[in-house]
A and B are shown apart, each in its own frame.
Chain A
Amino acid sequence: MEISDGETLAFDYLVVATGATPRLPGVPGQDLEGIFCLRNVTDAIRIRKFIDEKRVKRAVVVGAGLISLEMCEAFRRLGLETTVVYRKDLPLRRLGEDFAEQILTELETNGVAFMGETSLEGFEPTDTGGIIVHSSGGTFETDLVLLGLGVVPQVSLASEAGLGIGSTGAISVNKFLQTNIPYIYAAGDCCECFHRISQRPVYAPLGDIANKQGRIAGANIGGQNLSFPGIVGSTCFKVFNLEVASTGLTAEEAREVGLKAEAVTIQGVSKAHSYPGSRELHIRLVADTENGRLLGAQAVGGDGVVSRINGLAVALTGGLSLDELAYLDLAYAPPFSGAWDPIHIAAQKLLK
């Protein structure tokens, strides 16, 4: 292969770990000073420096995914007036309207203005170093814009090298992380991974998955014979005082891949009712109506959300049924759950 100084590098094995690049809105003025994406440490340092040096007071966040919502919290902590511009009506609608509304309430309670069903039209500089934002919801001024519109896999090198690109637009790999050229591997945000529940390749650009894929590719290059078992689609994030997590499929996603899915949602508590600091915890379980197998779970709440979802990620990986979940021997003590955990309660309700 040829590198930027014109030098040629020979190799026996190659790992393509070119990552992903931020998706841009494609509107006029998107490259103005003060408009940022957040992808790496360099971006984070640039944003923080800009806020400090320009004495930024107002921020606009475009998009309402995980990075956008985490940045809302960061901006509010720095005292910035923060507005989200989003094309859909609610953030993270994938999790269901009820959960999305809780996320919206959490944003608004913490002083974030949310402009839903609003499309971005462009940016213009002001004479005083500000930025004019044009949108379907009106024109307004801000000091800083964060574009949080997701990422696209960086596959230009892979395409030039003739590597196979999958249906998701990312590099296609087998379970050993090999591309269609066996001595060329791929790992991380530039490549696809196999979703164990939908049984399809998916694009899941997350750092934890990248590490696992990288380690398995490296082990195989070193002479071992490891395979990556795929993902069940677990994610979590925190926005202000709300924890949000999910694993597996939503009922809608399950039906899209041809499964007969049913869901139930319960409101439980994160610790025993009587225990100080117990918070509401909402869990939705999704199961296959034909065989009672768990297909996915989504949860929001003030506390204890991620431990439940991680337990359910294990259940998904092991192919547990609702019968098994309903009486599963989860660890119990009042500081951590009720005697019946929200997982038991939800599984039993879905069995009825």
Chain B
Amino acid sequence: MGKKLVVVGGGAGGPSAAAKAKRVDPELEVIILEGGEHVSFSA
């Protein structure tokens, strides 16, 4: 089983980190937490 990444924040830096980590390691389980309504609006 892959390792687990939790990302706090879905603005620009968070989704960039999540997407790249998943591309580099497809086995990784990735969860993004975002308090607002919109995700990745400036990424």
Binding site for B on A (CB under 8 A): 1, 3, 9-19, 40-42, 157, 185, 187-190, 207, 210-219, 221-224
Are the C-beta atoms of B18 and A1 separated by less than 8 Å?
A: no
Complex Cα gap A187–B42 (Å): 14
Q: Which residue in chain A gives the minimum CB-CB distance to B9?
A: A17
Are the C-beta atoms of A214 and B42 separated by less than 8 Å?
A: no
Complex Cα gap A40–B42 (Å): 9
Complex Cα gap A212–B12 (Å): 9
Are the C-beta atoms of A185 and B17 separated by less than 8 Å?
A: yes
Complex Cα gap A18–B14 (Å): 8
- Once A and B bind, how many residue pairs between them come within 8 Å at the CB atom? 134
Are the C-beta atoms of B12 and A210 separated by less than 8 Å?
A: yes
8 A-B Cβ contacts within 8 A? A14-B8, A42-B36, A189-B13, A207-B43, A211-B42, A221-B5, A221-B28, A223-B25
Residues of B13-39 contacting chain A, CB below 8 A: 13-25, 28, 31, 33, 36-38
Min CB distance B31 to A, Å, is: 7
Chain A contacts of B10 at CB under 8 A? 17
Are the C-beta atoms of A214 and B14 separated by less than 8 Å?
A: yes
Complex Cα gap A214–B16 (Å): 5
A14's partner among B5, B13, B16 (CB-CB below 8 A) is B5
Q: Contacts A207-B42, A221-B28: A15 and B3 contacting too (C-beta < 8 A)?
A: no
Are the C-beta atoms of A188 and B14 separated by less than 8 Å?
A: yes
Q: Contacts A185-B17, A188-B13, A222-B22: A15 and B41 contacting too (C-beta < 8 A)?
A: no
Instruction: Please classify how large the interface on chain B is, using the bins under 10, 10 to 19, 20 to 34, 35 or more.
Output: 20 to 34
Chain B contacts of A219 at CB under 8 A? 20-21, 24
Min CB distance A36 to B, Å, is: 15
B8's partner among A18, A207, A212 (CB-CB below 8 A) is A18
Complex Cα gap A13–B20 (Å): 14
Are the C-beta atoms of A16 and B11 separated by less than 8 Å?
A: no
Are the C-beta atoms of A214 and B5 separated by less than 8 Å?
A: no
Are the C-beta atoms of B28 and A210 separated by less than 8 Å?
A: no
Are the C-beta atoms of B19 and A13 separated by less than 8 Å?
A: no
Most buried by B among A1, A19, A185, A189: A19
Are the C-beta atoms of B3 and A12 separated by less than 8 Å?
A: yes
Q: A40-B36, A218-B19 are in contact. List 8 more A-B contacts (CB 8 A).
A: A11-B4, A13-B4, A15-B13, A17-B8, A40-B11, A189-B11, A218-B22, A222-B21
Min CB distance B3 to A, Å, is: 4
Complex Cα gap A213–B23 (Å): 16
B11's partner among A185, A188, A223 (CB-CB below 8 A) is A188
Chain B contacts of A19 at CB under 8 A? 9, 11, 13
Chain A contacts of B22 at CB under 8 A? 218, 222
Q: What 9 pairs across the A-B complex have the smallest Cβ distances?
A: A222-B24, A188-B13, A214-B16, A218-B20, A17-B14, A187-B13, A17-B9, A214-B13, A218-B21
Complex Cα gap A339–B34 (Å): 51
Q: Contacts A14-B6, A17-B7: A218 and B38 contacting too (C-beta < 8 A)?
A: no
Are the C-beta atoms of A15 and B7 separated by less than 8 Å?
A: yes
Min CB distance B40 to A, Å, is: 10
Complex Cα gap A213–B43 (Å): 11
Q: Which residue in chain A gives the minimum CB-CB distance to B35?
A: A4
Q: Contacts A15-B14, A221-B28, A222-B23: A157 and B8 contacting too (C-beta < 8 A)?
A: yes
Are the C-beta atoms of B11 and A9 separated by less than 8 Å?
A: no
